[in-house]
Amino acid sequence: MAKRVVIALGGNALGNNLAEQMLAVKHTARAIGDLIEAGYEVVISHGNGPQVGMINVAMGEMHKANPETSVIPMSVCVAMSQGYIGYDLQNALREELLNRSITKSVVTLITQVEVDPNDKAFDNPTKPIGRFMTKEEADELVLKGYSVMEDAGRGYRRVIASPRPKRIIEMETIKTLLDAGQVVIAAGGGGIPVIAKGNHLSGSGAVIDKDFASCELAKALHADCLIILTAVEKVAINFNKPNEKWLDTLTVAEAQKYIEEGHFAKGSMLPKVEAALDFAASSVGRTAIITLLEKAKEGIEGSTGTRIVGVDHESK
């Protein structure tokens, strides 16, 4: 049976603006094309930091210029980022597969992800988004009920919560598409955060970390492998210090120990290692790999990257 792989794409797979994104997705499509050609069954997820910030700014400016237009909620901005990034990825990957004479459809699925309204992250919004503001603009937003923080001396920015994903709403659809042999792009930007109120799902003003959402996706799909593609080939302990050490294979226990020792930066490497650990520990035979986009195939085949291996590997 084909190995099922969830690929989580980081910022460098997408670039920071439209021109960069259109170029970056070509490289990304090549790396994913290599995996598909090698026989892996892939599901793709991606981040949306720069893109959702850009959309949020654009929507904010639209409302400022024309106050009669709606204030666009963050959940809708995340949905827009899924569509915009999914379009570019889907377009590039389709072309890449056709060039390799692989007849597989590529589909982007607008994905909602349930979050817990009591998640502690809602009490402590920390993720800065959107444009920089003056103190006066910031005070005005606070009066409207938004959270705002001073951002490293550069001005004020809106900050939002980053709650943990609980459940991917469209999971059955993702499975169905995958079983039909299609290449699926899902849970983009961590998914659109929603809160369940009976049968109604209400959009939440948050952005879920794509590393955690990708882990949920990989677990629910019973994937063999979660591969988190980022800007470094391997994970290090003592990162950027004279005694820096790049890691090859880690057991769940070792990864846990390094997390506790504080080797991984919050908001960048820490969520990746936490997500990788969670996936590897979730069931027998699951492996998580963190590596560079360009090294995806070598990473899966075991010749590079940092891998976190689960229980059965540990006992060998």
Question: Which stretches of the chain bind ligand ADP, using CB under 6 A?
Answer: 10-11, 47, 230-232, 235-236, 239, 263-265, 268-269
Query: What tokens were used for 88?
Result: 């570019």
Backbone angles phi, psi at 44, to 5 degrees: -115, 135
Is the CB of 198 or the CB of 242 nearer to ligand ADP? Answer: 242
Taking Cα atoms as reference points, which of 299, 285, 294, 247 lies closest to residue 269? 247
Is the CB of 59 or the CB of 290 nearer to ligand ADP? Answer: 290
Residue type, 283: S
Is the CB of 212 or the CB of 264 nearer to ligand ADP? Answer: 264
Q: How far is the CB of 313 from ligand ADP (least distance, A)?
A: 22
Is the CB of 178 or the CB of 232 nearer to ligand ADP? Answer: 232
Backbone angles phi, psi at 145, to 5 degrees: 100, 5
Q: How far is the CB of 239 from ligand ADP (least distance, A)?
A: 3
Q: How far is the CB of 236 from ligand ADP (least distance, A)?
A: 4
Q: CA–CA separation, 302 vs 146, rounded Å?
A: 46
Taking Cα atoms as reference points, which of 121, 92, 111, 119 lies closest to residue 32? 92
Q: CA–CA separation, 164 vs 285, rounded Å?
A: 24
Taking Cα atoms as reference points, which of 101, 81, 102, 95 lies closest to residue 29? 95
Residue nearest to ligand ADP (CB): 10
Helix or strand or coil: residue 151? coil
Q: How far is the CB of 208 from ligand ADP (least distance, A)?
A: 13
Query: DSSP secondary structure string, 174-219?
Result: HHHHHHTT-EEE-SGGG-EEEEEETTEEEE-SB---HHHHHHHHHH
Q: CA–CA separation, 113 vs 191, rounded Å?
A: 5
Q: How far is the CB of 161 from ligand ADP (least distance, A)?
A: 18
Q: How far is the CB of 7 from ligand ADP (least distance, A)?
A: 12
Active-site residue numbers?
Answer: 11-12, 127, 210, 272
Is the CB of 132 or the CB of 239 nearer to ligand ADP? Answer: 239
Taking Cα atoms as reference points, which of 15, 31, 11 lies closest to residue 23? 15
Is the CB of 137 or the CB of 254 nearer to ligand ADP? Answer: 254
Query: DSSP secondary structure string, 208-260?
Result: --HHHHHHHHHHHTT-SEEEEEES-SS-EESTTSTT-EE-SEEEHHHHHHHHH
